[in-house]
Amino acid sequence: MYTDKVMEHFLHPRNVGTIPDADGVGEVGNPVCGDMMTFYIKVKDGRLEDIKFQTFGCGAAIAVSSMVSEMAKGKTLEEAMKITNEIVAEELGGLPPHKMHCSNLGADALHKAIEDYLTKKSREMDSPSAESGSSAEKKGKFHCPFCDFVLPENVQLCSRCQVKLIRCEHCGEYNREGEDTCRHCGAGLI
């Protein structure tokens, strides 16, 4: 049923644990199967310096979390954002069709941790105590909320990190397509 690589990552998962002072935390769950994954990241110079996870779920969910953490560690944020469920399943030598949702959860939890980090970083840059140079540089420009890439107006896909975007009609800032509320102003997204 499971490949040797899945069994290896299930029996000997890598990077299990928490990071108390994590720069970003991403949590996802599947109410149907009960799997819950939380990823913790530390970022240094735009790279994932450390990554840990806690997963409550089946063997496939644990193996996926372990593999995602191994694949992402040391990568730039934009490289880590490109890790998809298909890539994770391929690295594990495949997953049974009824377990493919686990690979979605792993990639989603990682992406949410990165998004959390970028949101915190964005708030720091926008705060009055932040250095005026970085805020002044951002005035009048739109940035991808996930990789900080300068975006032309009215794009629907960040060309750097490949995240699908939607603009908030209230504040004009970009958000990930499919989010319910704007991460910048809290307004509902259509």
Domain boundaries, the chain: 4-119, 140-190
Cα separation, 12 vs 20, whole angstroms: 23
Looking at residue 138, its pLDDT comes to 46
User: Does residue 127 have a pLDDT over 70?
Assistant: no
Average pLDDT over residues 128-148: 55
In one-letter notation, the amino acid at residue 151 is: L
User: Is 102 an annotated catalytic residue?
Assistant: yes
Class of domain 4-119: alpha beta
- Phi and psi torsions of 118, nearest 5°: -65, -35
| pLDDT tens digit sequence for 13-39 | 999 999 999 999 999 987 777 889 999
User: Is 161 an annotated catalytic residue?
Assistant: no
| pLDDT tens digit sequence for 176-189 | 888 888 877 778 88
Cα separation, 42 vs 85, whole angstroms: 22
Confirm whether pTM is higher than 0.85: no
User: Of the candidates 20, 26, 10, 21, which has an alpha carbon nearest to the alpha carbon of residue 176?
Assistant: 26
Among candidate residues 102, 144, 147, 158, the one labeled active-site is: 102
